[in-house]
A and B are shown apart, each in its own frame.
Chain A
Amino acid sequence: MEKQEFTITIYTENSIGMIGRISNIFSRRKINIESLNTSPSEVEGIHRFTILISEGEEVVRKLCRQIEKQVEVLKAYFNTNEELIWQEQALYKVPADVVNEKVYVERLLRQYGANVVVIRPDYIVFETAGHREEIDRLTQELTKYGLIEFVRGARIAIIKDSAGFHAKLKQFEREEPAPDIVENEFLDQQDQVFTM
């Protein structure tokens, strides 16, 4: 199966060791995590992991089932890029004199929507957010002008179709989670696919 970017969104309890338990599931299968973000979610007390990997869909589905098997994981979703709105954030530290003297740099930063975070006599820190390629391009450009330091955040993503986790969590708390409707549940090799 052809590899493509998948973003895995995981809702978990906020407990110690979750990153380890989740990352083990990938490393055990020798799958590289391209980026990983963990943060509080829209629901208080529930953490949200956003993991970017490049794999085939079947592998990703199996991974998500293994992830959901973890006692402290509530739910794991996987989405293709089309199903998401996503961003990465980046910070750049650029020598102040370059920005002051080269009009091109200033224009470049404006073109990429970079904002100034800190101005010091010796350097200026900019931040920007966008897709990976945009950030890559800006980084490349700035490298030519003595980029001192650069850091990029992990991908964070919003699922277009998601209604958030509040309702789902209530189901879990009431011990009555609604059954999931998974489209490709019936993978019969004889094409006698049963759909509901």
Chain B
Amino acid sequence: MSTLEKTETKESQKTTAASQLTGSQAVLEALIHEGVDTVFGYPGGAIMPIYDALYDYNDRLKHILVRHEQGGIHAAQGYARTSGRVGVAFATSGPGATNLVTGLADAMIDSNPIVCITGQVFASLLGTDAFQETDVINITSPVTKWSYQVTEASEIPTALAKAFYVASTGRPGPVLIDITKNAQIELFDYLGYEKCTHIRSYRPAPIVRKEYIEKAAEVINSAKKPFVLFGQGIILGKAEQEFRSFIEKGGFPSATTVMGLSALETDHPLHVGMLGMHGNYAPNVMTNECDVLIAVGMRFDDRVTGRLDKYAKQAKVIHLDIDPAEIDKNVKTTVPVWGDCKETLPLLTELIKKGDHADWLQQFRDLEKEEIKEVIQDELHPKGDILTMGEVVNVLNELTGGNAIITTDVGQHQMIACRYAKFNQSKSNVTSGGLGTMGFGLPAAIGAWYGAPDRDVVAIIGDGGFQMTLQELGTIMQFGAKVKILILNNQFLGMVRQWQQLFNDKRYSFVNITSPDFVAVAKGYYIDGNKVSERKDLREALETMLNHDSSYLLEVMVGKENNVFPMVAQGTSVSEIRLK
């Protein structure tokens, strides 16, 4: 309680005069004042008062009844990722709350702004092993940016104001507010909703220090072979334009992380591809060739760096990040530039020389040609009869023009989609990057559509991951999210199978997964669908899927034992990336 009282707010934002509200009404008032239009949730005993109040707010708040709380929070993540706003999920106590945990962990590692509201047993029953009681605050503490248990109705406005502020500012993250049932029911004197603008113990962004920027510019200006790595920080900071100006002025070849995809359009002349284990050949190799490495809004995940003691050792490293804990966490920095990149990038752009590194950029293009020859050509235009995942994504690109939102699940299809999907605009790639959560793709697509209902949303999902959360077809059926589901079925848990093939002597241990008739399953949910396994049918089938006026499921049978290459094998250096 004491910390909530210290939350400072602006007087001018007071909205209504004192009136009596229940805690539940105060929750919904808070959501409306925070501009929330869609909530993903699932009711249950301990959150019933909030659902009762929701009955009267139906005209102002859209509630999407998911089929499992994990689906609810993944949908909220999808919503946050495509809308740039806070995603909200409701769940009841006990199992409802524990079902959120995977999504919280996913949102935490991928920095998604999420507010979860969970019901809790009456405050008087806390600690008594009451029905559906679970200690959700402690269970979720490592996977939330902040969490708080409300036990009195009067705490609700300040707790939620703080929740939205913490979730959406600085490096975003998930916040969980656990509200005991008595607090939902109690009446209290509601003094209006005041948005939170400052918490004394919380610094959303470090203070920008000019001297660091000057030093960084100096290092960049001395570079012969500068190389920019960009991550989701660009998207979260809404700094796409600032980033483009920066790399264009300097003429820097720029490569993206999985999470940074779509921050810069795929076709940009300075975009040299994706980093990491299954990223492109050139950016991985050139990481160990460049003289100055400029990392913007990315966190040097182990899947990006490969073996750390052989990572960019020759380079001076400039790291721009809003989170001070990221600086020097994995890769030692020559000059750290702390701060919001929306603020720091323009300052840096002003100080750097106009540059043209055509010869250097050409080296990337030369390596790219090698990758096209060794990998991409066969993946996108295979000679054999069997369809590849890459060619499906390629035809999809041609049909969407790169304007669609692509959500993916996790595994081979994810890497193929990230490698080959074309993105023309930001906030178009929704994938579980850090946590690698199978089952993410379908519910995330539902949320992605609610976050950007005017855009095409294609959920590319494998046959394994789809079976983890396919119950969300029920959500699509009931509420009509226009999600196009593209299942790339290789009849295997493909990524694990690939590793077993490459590293475990092809000992295929429990990666052979059988599937139901997915089209029939969709039909059971009154969702139209089709299945293709031949090249001649592919384009038309994809066209039909995209042009369908509601949700649609297309299953494409692809090669069973195709591998994703290039690959930086675990424990090797990025420059040891293998093309086959």
A68 close to B (CB within 8 Å): yes
Interface-central residue, B3, B141, B146, by most chain A CB under 10 Å: B3
Interface-central residue, A17, A66, A189, A192, by most chain B CB under 10 Å: A189
Q: Which of B151-172 contact A (CB under 8 A)?
A: 166
> What are the 10 tightest A-B residue pairs by CB atom distance, in nearest-first order?
A65-B325, A188-B334, A71-B146, A15-B3, A13-B3, A187-B332, A172-B200, A74-B201, A71-B202, A179-B207
Residues of A within 8 A of B (CB): 12-17, 20-21, 24, 28, 45, 61-62, 65-66, 68-69, 71-74, 169, 172-173, 175, 177, 179, 185-190, 192, 194, 196
B203 close to A (CB within 8 Å): yes
Residues from chain B with Cβ under 8 Å of A187 in the complex? 328, 332-333
Q: Are A194 and B334 in contact (CB under 8 A)?
A: yes
B138 close to A (CB within 8 Å): yes
Q: Are B138 and A20 in contact (CB under 8 A)?
A: yes
B108 vs chain A, min Cβ distance (A): 12
B401 close to A (CB within 8 Å): no
Residues from chain B with Cβ under 8 Å of A186 in the complex? 333-336
Bound form: Cα–Cα A189–B145 in Å: 32
Bound form: Cα–Cα A177–B198 in Å: 13
Q: Are B137 and A17 in contact (CB under 8 A)?
A: yes
B334 vs chain A, min Cβ distance (A): 4
Residues from chain A with Cβ under 8 Å of B3 in the complex? 13-15, 72
Bound form: Cα–Cα A196–B333 in Å: 15
**Among candidates A61, A177, A190, A196, residue contacting B203 with C-beta atoms closer than 8 Å:** A177
Residues from chain B with Cβ under 8 Å of A169 in the complex? 200
7 A-B residue pairings within 8 Å (CB atoms): A17-B137, A62-B325, A65-B329, A72-B202, A73-B201, A187-B333, A190-B334
B316 close to A (CB within 8 Å): yes
Residues from chain B with Cβ under 8 Å of A61 in the complex? 328
A68 in contact with B325 given A13-B6, A14-B3 (CB within 8 Å): yes
B4 to chain A: closest residue by CB: A15
Residues from chain B with Cβ under 8 Å of A21 in the complex? 141
Bound form: Cα–Cα A196–B212 in Å: 9
Bound form: Cα–Cα A72–B198 in Å: 12
B12 close to A (CB within 8 Å): no
A177 vs chain B, min Cβ distance (A): 6
A71 in contact with B166 given A12-B201, A62-B325, A188-B316 (CB within 8 Å): yes
B323 vs chain A, min Cβ distance (A): 7
Residues of B within 8 A of A (CB): 2-3, 6, 137-138, 141-142, 145-147, 149, 166, 198-203, 206-207, 209, 211, 215, 313, 316-317, 323-325, 327-329, 332-336
| Given A24-B142, A175-B198, 6 other A-B residues pairs in contact with their CB atoms under 8 A | A14-B2, A17-B138, A73-B201, A172-B200, A177-B207, A194-B215
Bound form: Cα–Cα A186–B216 in Å: 12
Residues from chain A with Cβ under 8 Å of B201 in the complex? 12-13, 71-74, 172
Residues from chain A with Cβ under 8 Å of B323 in the complex? 69
A123 vs chain B, min Cβ distance (A): 36
Q: Are A179 and B316 in contact (CB under 8 A)?
A: no
A17 to chain B: closest residue by CB: B137
B229 vs chain A, min Cβ distance (A): 17
Residues from chain A with Cβ under 8 Å of B327 in the complex? 65
Q: Are B141 and A13 in contact (CB under 8 A)?
A: no
A28 in contact with B145 given A179-B207, A187-B333, A192-B334 (CB within 8 Å): no
A24 to chain B: closest residue by CB: B142
Bound form: Cα–Cα A86–B81 in Å: 49
A189 to chain B: closest residue by CB: B332
Q: Are A24 and B141 in contact (CB under 8 A)?
A: yes
B137 vs chain A, min Cβ distance (A): 6
Residues from chain A with Cβ under 8 Å of B207 in the complex? 177, 179
Q: Are B329 and A188 in contact (CB under 8 A)?
A: no
Residues from chain B with Cβ under 8 Å of A14 in the complex? 2-3
Q: Are B200 and A189 in contact (CB under 8 A)?
A: no
B206 vs chain A, min Cβ distance (A): 8
Residues from chain B with Cβ under 8 Å of A177 in the complex? 203, 207
Residues from chain B with Cβ under 8 Å of A173 in the complex? 200
Bound form: Cα–Cα A72–B329 in Å: 22
Residues from chain B with Cβ under 8 Å of A72 in the complex? 3, 146, 201-202
A106 vs chain B, min Cβ distance (A): 47
Q: Are A71 and B199 in contact (CB under 8 A)?
A: yes
Q: Are A17 and B328 in contact (CB under 8 A)?
A: no
Q: Are A45 and B2 in contact (CB under 8 A)?
A: yes
Q: Are A28 and B142 in contact (CB under 8 A)?
A: yes
**Among candidates A12, A45, A172, A190, residue contacting B316 with C-beta atoms closer than 8 Å:** A190
Q: Are A188 and B203 in contact (CB under 8 A)?
A: no
Q: Are B316 and A71 in contact (CB under 8 A)?
A: no
A95 vs chain B, min Cβ distance (A): 40
Q: Are B145 and A68 in contact (CB under 8 A)?
A: no
Residues from chain A with Cβ under 8 Å of B202 in the complex? 71-72
Residues from chain B with Cβ under 8 Å of A28 in the complex? 142
Bound form: Cα–Cα A196–B149 in Å: 44
A171 vs chain B, min Cβ distance (A): 9
Q: Are B2 and A13 in contact (CB under 8 A)?
A: yes
B175 to chain A: closest residue by CB: A71
Bound form: Cα–Cα A69–B166 in Å: 12
